[in-house]
Amino acid sequence: MGDAEIKDGERLPLAVKDMGSCEIYPQTIQHNPNGRFVVVCGDGEYIIYTAMALRNKSFGSAQEFAWAHDSSEYAIRESNSVVKIFKNFKEKKSFKPDFGAESIYGGFLLGVRSVNGLAFYDWDNTELIRRIEIQPKHIFWSDSGELVCIATEESFFILKYLSEKVLAAQETHEGVTEDGIEDAFEVLGEIQEIVKTGLWVGDCFIYTSSVNRLNYYVGGEIVTIAHLDRTMYLLGYIPKDNRLYLGDKELNIVSYSLLVSVLEYQTAVMRRDFIMADKVLPTIPKEQRTRVAHFLEKQGFKQQALTVSTDPEHRFELALQLGELTIAYQLAVEAESEQKWKQLAELAISKCQFSLAQECLHHAQDYGGLLLLATASGNACMVNKLAEGAERDGKNNVAFMSYFLQGKLDACLELLIRTGRLPEAAFLARTYLPSQVSRVVKLWRENLSKVNQKAAESLADPTEYENLFPGLKEAFVVEEWVKKMHADLWPAKQYPFVTPNEERNVMEEAKGCQPSRSATQQELDGKPASPTPVIMESHAANKEEKSLLELEVDLDNLELEDIDDTTDINLDEDILDD
């Protein structure tokens, strides 16, 4: 039947053929590695048959039977103290394990379980290779003999057999103890799952678990192939079909797709044979490559994973981790995702690619990030453009901060007024623009009277209650003086030469300045306005103090929250609700 007709998990319509009967009641049935012979063992006896015709080839007494990796070699457990090894159906050796023999296991080494643990012996000379304190239930060797799975009642272990170190120890007798050769095995992993049946394909261990899952383990990663609806037993894997076959007690046979190219690639990676891996890669379908890329990533080969993966999301994450700005930028352009632009902006900043960071933040409409970038780089032009753009897009928090950092207090005030933040505008005016206090209070009073007339009448206007605003006239002088001194912008590099605000006395510095008469001042003293203010005293040091940084970013005076991140400012709330 064609591959297109086979569906994963469906029963295969196979004909059942009666091969004959067995002379004993078998407890175990095992094929030898090349599949030519099959042995049945039970009732204290074993019989070896030819697999195709079920002709009797050999028989004898045995409590248990185990095939070696060599198809012509096998062992039997005659009793709890004697193990015999056969070669070409003739007895080759008989020995008594030092720790007894409760069970035996085949493979590259002869495994013997005792009450003290598991002992591995050499098939040729029955020399002890290693004793391990473990009580195995199953032992599965890979075809190469490099890997072995030891399954217990609660978990399974993946070990690597170091044959070169074993040969060296046998020659030099170094590192040999009563428990065998210390460096014979290396533990690669322990998995808390119960293995029911298992087999190796390359360096991938495929198994069914106690919870009826069909999984495979490779390189520390467990991949679930399928969830089984009943207890199934692994029969084998046919590479040319790219399918894994399982059966149940009712002789129902099912199969699941498992690409041999994927297994070969993962095996090559585990062996660090990247030349072979590159040869296998073109044979892997594109829909499977992202799964392979995740495997590469978990093995630490992120650069190769980036090359193999076809999932844009996965590739973008890998590009960020590897610092590949060009690839990440291309993927961000294709995705048009604000989140990706923000992530790329962070990477660009960490790489000091500020132009790219600025572009990314613009795409992400991250005004807070743009403000941080502009202020950190001392780019006054960028701050100014940001203020205008943020205000235009309704990002009033960032717009306010941008104006404030430039010392554009009038713009800050007008922004607060336009957005209905009249109380904040009044406090800003009282702190920085005393000449505007009267105008803002009138607006505040008019607005508040619509809600609470009594509260509106309680607001004091400096033109009406001069006695409640001590020092206001002096504040007019300071305001004019500050405007004069801050007419020109100084570069950020002048910051070290500027006296900090907390060390200054602006009232003292403004002495001698003759202010122009504002409308508020004229109402207060009833005198006409004087000409443009003249600075009577000047100090050479004042030039160095001309800086936007003299206008301390102190939002506490506005009775707003202490802001570290401009996105936390809540000026946008309840704005222009009508």
Q: Which of 124, 111, 131 is nearest to 176 (CA)?
A: 131
In order along its 578 residues, the chain shows pLDDT tens digits of 455 578 888 899 888 788 888 888 889 999 999 999 999 999 899 999 999 888 999 999 999 999 999 999 999 999 999 999 999 999 999 999 988 899 999 999 999 999 989 999 999 999 999 999 999 999 999 999 999 999 999 999 999 999 999 999 988 888 889 899 999 999 999 999 999 999 999 889 999 999 999 999 988 888 899 999 999 999 999 988 889 999 999 889 999 999 989 988 988 888 888 899 999 999 999 888 998 999 899 888 999 999 999 999 999 999 999 999 999 999 999 988 889 999 999 999 899 888 899 889 888 888 888 888 888 887 888 888 888 888 888 889 999 998 998 888 899 999 999 999 999 999 999 888 888 988 999 999 888 888 888 888 888 888 788 888 887 778 888 888 878 777 676 776 888 888 887 888 877 877 766 555 544 444 444 443 333 333 333 333 333 333 333 333 332 333 333 334 433 333 343 333 33
> How long, in residues, is the chain?
578
CA distance 78 to 61: 7
Q: Are 279 and 202 in contact (CB under 8 A)?
A: no
124 to each of 15, 92, 121, 255, 514, how far by Cα in Å? 42, 9, 9, 38, 110
CA distance 71 to 32: 6
| Alpha-carbon dihedral sign for residues 45, 47, 48, 52 | negative
End-to-end CA distance of the chain: give it in Å, rounded: 72
- For residue 516, the model assigns a pLDDT of 55
Residue 509 tokens read as 């510095």
- For residue 570, the model assigns a pLDDT of 37
Please classify residue 496 by burial: count the beta carbons closer than 10 Å to its beta carbon, then call 0-12 exposed, 13-18 middle and 19+ buried: exposed
CA distance 324 to 341: 14
Residue type, 251: L
Q: Is the pTM of this model over 0.75?
A: no
298 to each of 226, 382, 433, how far by Cα in Å? 21, 42, 61
443 to each of 436, 450, 570, how far by Cα in Å? 11, 12, 22
Domain with CATH 1.25.40 in the chain: 367-568
CA distance 508 to 474: 11
CA distance 21 to 47: 12
β-strand partners of 75: 66, 85
CA distance 264 to 155: 26
Give all strands (DSSP E) within 335-387, no chain letters: none
Residues in contact with 498: Cβ distance below 8 Å, sequence separation at least 6, in sequence order: 490, 544, 545, 546, 547, 549, 550
CA distance 427 to 84: 99
- For residue 508, the model assigns a pLDDT of 81
- For residue 513, the model assigns a pLDDT of 62
Q: Which of 437, 504, 427, 501 is nearest to 473 (CA)?
A: 437
Q: Which CATH number fits domain 367-568: 3.40.50, 2.60.220, 1.10.3470, 1.25.40?
A: 1.25.40
- For residue 532, the model assigns a pLDDT of 33
β-strand partners of 159: 148, 187
